[in-house]
Amino acid sequence: MTPIKAIAFIGLGNMGVPMAAQLTAKGFELSLFDLRPEAVSGFVNAYGGRASASISDAARGADAAICMLPDNAAVREAVLGEGGLAASLAEGAIVIDMGTSDPRATVMIGGELKKRRIAYVDAPVMGGVVFAKNASLDVIAGGSDDDIVRCTPIFAALGRQVFRCGTLGSGHALKVLANYVNACALVNLIEALAIGIAVAARLSPASSTFTCTASEALMRSTAARRSPTSHRACCATA
């Protein structure tokens, strides 16, 4: 199993920049591409790495490629489009989708890459920009055990824990479910606050207490989301 050293990093958005910066700082050789050339040049000036004029240029000589893109349509284009990763990476390379994607599309893309003898892992992350900046993301990985083991040094450079969730697509499935649960909790909190405000005239002292209690509940919910135990429970059923 060849260690991963050279990485094509595709997507320098709010999450992509701090994640790529962590990899560069920890010794990986990054070739970077984004649809915005100014994002690439700005990153290289600040953190290092090699600016690439295209995805195929970024993939030249890469052991692996990381996609940190908005959705599965963008990932599909980056991987299977003309001049994409599938046509540019060498056999034995591995593609890692670390964004939030449709798990059905993930399985389809993985099948196309397999025909070219390129591995595929879905490894979305839990945590926002702050966690990306201090490398404390949680990585939720789906794919073969061998492929995930091969990617572990990358994940260790980006996050605090890696959770193996099952076959290809299971990482993205769990991420979508986690986003759904968090959204439901937020909607419920907003509705509860709206009701509290509506009756504030009659319950003025209690209203402030309610607001503080609701805010504390939200923080505890966020802490629970970041809890290793909660992730293990979900992954165990994936």
Average the pLDDT over each of 30-34, 45-49, 201-205 and give the range with the smallest value. 201-205
Nearest to 55 by CA among 85, 81, 76, 29: 85
Separation of alpha carbons 72 and 70, rounded Å: 7
- Would residue 60 count as lying in a domain? yes
From the list 57, 87, 81, 51, the residue with the least C-alpha distance to 69 is 81
| Range in 7-21, 141-155, 204-218 with the lowest mean pLDDT | 204-218
Residue 158, in any domain of the structure? yes
Q: Where are the beta strands (DSSP E) in the chain?
A: 6-10, 29-33, 50-51, 64-67, 94-97, 119-122, 125-126, 137-142, 159-166
Nearest to 66 by CA among 168, 155, 3: 155
Check pLDDT > 70 for residue 207.
Answer: no
CA distance 162 to 153: 11
Six-digit token pair at 155? 């994940």
| Residue 221 domain-assigned (yes or no) | no
Q: Which of 32-36, 162-166, 188-192 has the lowest mean pLDDT?
A: 188-192
More confident position, 69 or 223: 69
Which pLDDT score, from 0 to 100, does residue 185 have? 87
Number of CB atoms found within 10 A of residue 211's CB: 15
> Which tokens in the block code for residue 111?
């099948």
Any domain includes 187: no
Residue entry with tokens 């207490």: 209
C-alpha pair distances (Å), 42 with each of 36, 38, 129, 131: 10, 6, 18, 21
Q: Which residues are catalytic?
A: 175
What dihedral angle (degrees, nearest 10) is formed by the CA atoms of 74, 125, 8, 146?
Answer: -110
| Pairwise pLDDT comparison (179 vs 33), residue with the higher score | 33
Tell me, what's the pLDDT at 198? 78
- The reported pLDDT for the residue numbered 67 is 98
Share of the chain above pLDDT 90, in %: 74
In percent, how much of the chain has pLDDT > 70? 83
Q: How large is the average pLDDT for residues 125-146?
A: 95
- The confidence band for 210, taking pLDDT boundaries of 50, 70 and 90, is low
Overall domain count for the chain: 1
Please report the pLDDT score of residue 197 as a whole number. Answer: 77
**pLDDT of 99-129, one tens digit each?**
999 999 999 999 999 999 999 999 999 989 9
- Which residues, including other chains, have CB under 8 Å from residue 230's CB and lie 6 or more apart? 224
On average, the pLDDT of the chain sits at 88
Q: Is residue 144 part of a domain?
A: yes
30 beta partners: 7
Query: What is the domain range of residue 67?
Result: 6-172
| Structure-token pair, residue 29 | 């050789």
* Residue 82 pLDDT grade (very low, low, confident, very high; cuts 50, 70, 90): very high
Q: What pLDDT was estimated at residue 228? A: 42
Residues 36-65: what's their mean pLDDT? 97
- Asked if residue 119 belongs to a domain, the reply is yes
Average pLDDT over residues 171-187: 91
**Cβ(165)–Cβ(140) below 8 Å:** yes
Residue 190 lies in a domain: no
Domain membership flag for residue 209? no
CATH of the domain at 77: 3.40.50.720
- Tell me if 55 sits within 8 A of 34, measured CB to CB: no
